[in-house]
Amino acid sequence: MHGRNWSIEGSNLKVVLLFLSALGILSPILLDGCADSSRTLPWYSECALPAEGVDGWVEICVSPPVDEEGYTTDGVSNFTIGTRRLRKWDKDYRFILENNDPFDGITGMNHMGDGAYFSGKLYVPIETWNQCPNVENQSFAVFDANTLKRLEVHNVVAFQNEVSGMAIAPNEGPHGLIYSTSFCDNEHIYMYDLPTFAPVGSIELSPRLSSMQGVAYRSGKLYISAGVAKAVFQVSLTGKVLGKLYSDLDALEVEGLDFSQDEIRWLVITNGVPNVHYIRYFQ
Ligand SMILES: [Ca+2]
């Protein structure tokens, strides 16, 4: 159990980690490769960097327990998205404020997905979720990142069968694009015009990715959290799946993610508890 896809031989890594642990340099949380959410976790400010010579994607720390659907950040504050709740935290995950009624004034909504921060706002997919393919009222909601108050709702029922995640790519397309994943559609990523939310088209994934739960954009690539594989994949903007970057096979569910900062921050539910896992590339 507790298997993860390390990029160096597991036994070598364990020796390195044991040595660091003996020196008191490394938190013991990394030793068994399992983020046991029932005990105290290393926080963002206590991320343990790997020893020299470690190559590839390495998990360096885990957030305290947060919400269960999505994550994003403006580079300072952390924003976590629950099924029916938005919360804002400071850089060390100290609670700042929450919105416990994100569907206030709109009927039928019961589910939020993985959102993205862009230019002072949070972009969050919302819908009426009743298992695949029975989904209704698929929409993109926009919230003020300072107050968490809802500003706008844009219906996308006509174009997409489920909305599990949103990523903002301000420099793609003529005016910027929104990329959106579907949990019920393993074949397509949908695109929308950023300023108007008008549908632009879709890209076809090759190979397909099952049970997509979140998407992030960075430097002309997409990063997708896929549930069946319990992994983060890198995908080109033409839909080619370029590789599996990291997997957490102990996860009960893998959820939203963010790659706007130095590391992929991936919301993973382990033992029923959602935490943001910080996974950084070393070479
Ligand atoms: Ca996100």
pLDDT above 60 for 271: yes
Distance (angstroms) between ligand 1 centre and the Cα of 18 equals: 33
Whole-number pLDDT of residue 103: 98
For residue 73, the CA-to-ligand 1 centroid distance in Å is 8
* d(CA 150, ligand 1 centre) in Å: 17
Q: Which helix (H) or strand (E) holds 20?
A: helix 10-22
CB 151 within 8 A of CB 101: no
Q: Which of 32, 38, 35 is nearest to 13 (CA)?
A: 32
Give the predicted TM-score (pTM) of the model: 0.84
Rg of the Cα atoms in the chain:
18
35 CA to centre of ligand 1 in angstroms: 21
Q: Distance from the CA of 68 to the center of ligand 1, in angstroms?
A: 12
CA of 260 to the centre of ligand 1 (A): 9
Q: From the CA of 8, how far away is ligand 1's center (Å)?
A: 28
3 vs 135, residue with greater confidence? 135
Run of H or E including 21 = helix 10-22
The pLDDT-based confidence of 116 (bands split at 50, 70, 90) is very high
Q: How far is ligand 1, taken at its centre, from the CA of residue 266, in Å?
A: 8
pLDDT at 37: 41
10-14, 126-130, 166-170: least confidently modelled range: 10-14
Mean pLDDT for 274-281 is: 94
Separation CA 271–CA 14 (nearest Å): 23
Q: What is the pLDDT of residue 51?
A: 73
**16-71, pLDDT tens digit by residue?**
433 443 333 433 333 333 333 433 445 666 777 777 778 899 888 999 999 999 99
pLDDT of residue 32: 32
Q: Are strands 241-247 and 165-169 parallel, antiparallel or unpaired?
A: unpaired
Give the number of other CB atoms < 10 A from CB of residue 184.
17
Domain ranges for the chain, please list them: 13-282
CA distances from 191 to 111, 171, 232, 244 (A): 21, 13, 20, 22
What is the average per-residue pLDDT within 233-245?
Answer: 98
Alpha carbons 235 and 129: distance in angstroms, whole number: 26
Q: How far is the CA of 164 from the centre of ligand 1 (A)?
A: 10
Ligand 1 centroid to residue 108 C-alpha, Å: 23
Position 7 pLDDT exceeds 70: no
| pLDDT of residue 10 exceeding 50 | no
**DSSP letter for each residue of 134-163:** -EEEEEEEEEETTT--EEEEEE-TTT-S--
Separation of CA 193 and ligand 1 centre (Å): 18
Q: For residue 278, report the distance from its CA to the centre of ligand 1, in Å.
A: 13
CATH of domain 13-282: 2.120.10
Residue 44 has a pLDDT of 64
Is 43 or 182 the better-scoring residue by pLDDT? 182
